[in-house]
Structure 1
């Protein structure tokens, strides 16, 4: 009986063990960035999500991102980075930077996705975005001031330079410590993206010891 219970216990553990033992490599789970990009804080492992609010794949990834962020380790620094790969992307990128500057990004981020993909709002005009921001205590005048500010335009330029340095050509994409690019295609689906990210984080953690 004892042998039977032991065998059963081992059998139940096999899927878990296999998941943790998954050995990813360049081209299998992620791609290596040819020229590593400097991170904001070298003392932490940086994870950057490149996204666009209008992207249905980014919207589908958002629940996985939010769940993953809840257990973020102290040595990991997570950031969102809006991409502008098309003319209609600009307004959404500017809105993100305004929200970040005004300190409402955390409350607004998922709601912005929902407004576009659930409520079918375009959210591409300055007036529509200004009205949306009033729900988070931002006056339309303050929104307009920031939306057209030097600070926002500067952030757009910096983001564009980083995304080009990463070699990213689409969204969503996860950049781990400026060295690795993870996408749904390389990881085998949204549900596995953060398994690969966690693998790379641990790899970077061990390398720094």
Structure 2
């Protein structure tokens, strides 16, 4: 019984320590970087949170189970969206895949399946034809996908995503940006949950500044 009590006390102290750590104020230059030139947001009037990611990134894949429940609970004044990081090669191919799915309005339905195809099933998804074949099994029309993938509109969005990645001055993923002003990643924040704690504090900072 004594051992159970000691264990319970240890767990309680551990949880308290985690709470205290999460509540610790953040500082520019430590947990996050303040951009010298703010980047315009997609929806003025809302507090924007961007995640820059790559479907082929294992850290992005591991971040998903922590990130998604947080996104679902964001308040109405916060706008979250993903932007694919474009560093050339297959990064650009997968980025165009994401933008195509988003343009078609099916990204929310197949986003997790794409991640799992790459990281659990060993699929490369390195060509539009391979993507179309896989997505057909997810209920996405092959011809419609290929037509959209090669469309002028999608190519324009790819160019915009590249410009935004450069404006945010990212060097890796997953990286988050709050309101076009503050950039941080899972590593600099201290872990997946800590990254969301940083995001919460920066959201509160922007809300208080309105």
TM-score where L is the length of structure 2: 0.89
What residue number does 1:56 align with? 58
Deviations 1:132-169 (A, max 9, x none): 22234322111110111101110010011111111111
For residue 36 of structure 1, give the secondary structure of its aligned residue in structure 2: coil
Distance 1:18 1:80 in 2: 30
TM superposition shift of 1:17: 5.6
For residue 49 of structure 1, give the secondary structure of its aligned residue in structure 2: strand
Distance verdict in 2 for CA 1:195–1:139, change over 3 Å: same
TM superposition shift of 1:44: 0.6
Q: 2:206 aligns with which of 182, 204, 207?
A: 204
Counterparts of 1:114-125 in structure 2 under 5 Å? 114-125=116-127
Runs of 4+ residues deviating >3 angstroms:
11-17
Counterparts of 1:180-191 in structure 2 under 5 Å? 180-191=182-193
TM superposition shift of 1:58: 0.8
For residue 25 of structure 1, give the secondary structure of its aligned residue in structure 2: coil
1:32 matched to 2:34? The reply is yes
Instruction: Check whether the contact 1:104–1:136 (CA below 8 A) recurs between aligned residues.
Output: no
What residue number does 2:139 align with? 137
- Number of aligned residue pairs: give it: 199
TM superposition shift of 1:40: 1.3
TM superposition shift of 1:21: 3.1
Distance 1:14 1:61 in 2: 24
Distance 1:109 1:194 in 2: 20
Deviations 1:175-206 (A, max 9, x none): 10000011022101223110101110011111
What residue number does 1:91 align with? 93
Distance 2:16 2:191 in 1: 22
Distance 2:109 2:65 in 1: 14
For residue 32 of structure 2, give the secondary structure of its aligned residue in structure 1: strand
Distance 1:56 1:129 in 2: 19
